[in-house]
Amino acid sequence: MSTHPTFKYLDDALHCESVSLAALAAEFGTPLYVYSAERLRQNYQRVARVFAPLRPLICYAVKANANGALLALLRQQGAGFDIVSGGELHRVLRAGAEPARIVFAGVGKTEAELEMAVQAKVGWINVESQGELERLNAVAAHHRARPTVAIRLRPNVDAATHRHISTGSAAGKFGLPVSHALKLVAHSRALPHVHIRGAHIHIGSQLANPQATLQAIEVALDFIAQANARGAEIDTLDLGGGFPVPYRDDDPVPDLDTFAAPIVARLARSGLEHFHIEPGRAIVADTAALLTTVQYEKEDAGHRIVIVDAGMHTLLRPALYEAYHRVCAVAHHSDSPLTLADVAGPICESADFLARAHPLPPLASGDLLALLDVGAYGAAMASNYNSHPLPAEALVEGHRYRLIRRRQTYDDLIANEVIE
């Protein structure tokens, strides 16, 4: 914990940049997501530096965190955006995104969503099935447009990651096997309103090493060579995202330079001209902490359970993927003995745990805990389950801070309901 890039103890009080987390909790209440603007910029710049030899279009994967203030900050850094829904398109346009720097991916785009994308003139549409390409052709014909398309491949490699976030294997729902993709390229000659210019791969998230990505790249390069030999005009490879981040003090995942080096080296000699990358987690994960207030503690036969005001409705990853997040006391007491405790939320589900057997100091009702590295797929996956309002979010920049999402109210919860 002492080594965390974003959250550090100053005089035994946990800080984000120069702002005390306890002060933020006192002002905005908990559960509260707190983000560091400086760390967000650093992460974007690190990705840009590591992949610079490929001069890629960096499309931040909005699904990781769609808060408009963060999107605007990334846009100022030069980011494009990887979106997967009409809602995300709406958000990035509102954040000032340049349409040409938007990639629209996703396995189930509706006609209305394709219509929106064509009208907004998004730069790329990543297509995952024959039905989708035909539908896009019809929508584009209606608007007298010819969108640029990448075909998402299912390269049949197995990413070393949690099975819920592995997307490249044969049994998955994403993309097309190479043989189908080649047939689709041939079929596209009958579809004058789409222009296939790219191949897209994304084999999973939080990849443990670059090996599976390198294998997928070989599959994609082979597909591109075969397609172009038959008259296609593919000059772009979209690598997807998936770059790993450490969640534990001793996490064995490679750092971004080590992960990317063989990928960059391979692609630099591929002869291809254009590259897209779609990093989500690597840009936002370690920018944020989730602040939560201890409510109660129970102990049964030496088993300690700390019950807090955040839970699977605020941060779903531990319940859904058994994901690990470091938990630390916002006020540090160096002489306190640490004992193992589970951290649980208020939701009426036995899966509602934020941490299991985590070393924690003695805690009293009202004490604050921080869960770290929650910037990616944290607030983005929060829900209203059990009718808890969505949490507030704050952005810190040096000594300054501001709310970037107000806490929902009870009236917000029922605002869309039609009772009579």
CB of 64 to ligand LLP, least distance (A): 5
Q: Three-state SS string across 380-397, please? A: HHCCCHHHCCCCEEEEEE
Q: For residues 150 and 329, which CB has a smaller minimum distance to ligand LLP in the complex?
A: 150
Question: Which structure tokens are listed for 202?
Answer: 């994304």
CA end-to-end span of the chain, whole Å? 53
According to CB under 6 A, which one of 25, 64, 66, 70 is a site residue for ligand LLP? 64
Place of tokens 């990358």: 277
Annotate 337-357 with b (16+ C-beta within 10 A) or e (fewer).
eeeebbbbbbbeeeebbbbee
Q: For residues 147 and 168, which CB has a smaller minimum distance to ligand LLP in the complex?
A: 168
Q: Collapsing DSSP states into helix, strand and coil, what is residue 121? A: coil
According to CB under 6 A, which one of 91, 109, 317, 358 is a site residue for ligand LLP? 317
| Integer Cα distance of 313 and 386 in angstroms | 8
Q: Per rule CB under 6 A, is residue 62 in the interface with ligand LLP?
A: no
Which of 16, 59, 328, 348 is catalytic? The answer is 348
Angle 211-229/178-187 helices, nearest 10 degrees?
30
Active site residue 348: yes
Q: Per rule CB under 6 A, is residue 147 in the interface with ligand LLP?
A: no
| Integer Cα distance of 105 and 82 in angstroms | 7
According to CB under 6 A, which one of 35, 44, 247, 377 is a site residue for ligand LLP? 377
**How is residue 280 annotated by DSSP?**
S
According to CB under 6 A, which one of 80, 147, 279, 318 is a site residue for ligand LLP? 279
Q: Per rule CB under 6 A, is residue 67 in the interface with ligand LLP?
A: no
Q: Per rule CB under 6 A, is residue 247 in the interface with ligand LLP?
A: no
According to CB under 6 A, which one of 165, 305, 331, 413 is a site residue for ligand LLP? 165
Q: Per rule CB under 6 A, is residue 136 in the interface with ligand LLP?
A: no
Non-local CB neighbours of 100 within 8 Å, separated by 6+ positions:
121, 122, 123
Burial level of 288, CB count in 10 A (0-12/13-18/19+)?
A: buried
Q: Per rule CB under 6 A, is residue 376 in the interface with ligand LLP?
A: yes
Q: Per rule CB under 6 A, is residue 375 in the interface with ligand LLP?
A: no
According to CB under 6 A, which one of 43, 205, 215, 293 is a site residue for ligand LLP? 205
Q: For residues 15 and 276, which CB has a smaller minimum distance to ligand LLP in the complex?
A: 276
Asked if residues 241 and 279 have their Cβ atoms less than 8 Å apart, the reply is yes
Q: Per rule CB under 6 A, is residue 311 in the interface with ligand LLP?
A: no
Question: Which structure tokens are listed for 223?
Answer: 């597909």
Q: Cis (ω within 30 of 0) for the bond into 246?
A: no
Q: For residues 82 and 397, which CB has a smaller minimum distance to ligand LLP in the complex?
A: 82
Question: Which structure tokens are listed for 30?
Answer: 């908990």
CB of 211 to ligand LLP, least distance (A): 16
Span near ligand LLP by CB under 6 A; candidates 70-78, 201-209, 338-346, 390-398: 201-209
Convert residues 82-111 into a mask of x (bound to ligand LLP by CB under 6 A) and - (unbound): x----------------------x------
CA atoms lying within 13 Å on the CB side of residue 344: 18
Could you list the active site residues? Answer: 348
Binding site for ligand LLP (CB under 6 A): 61, 63-64, 82, 105, 165, 202, 205-206, 240-243, 278-282, 317, 321, 376-377
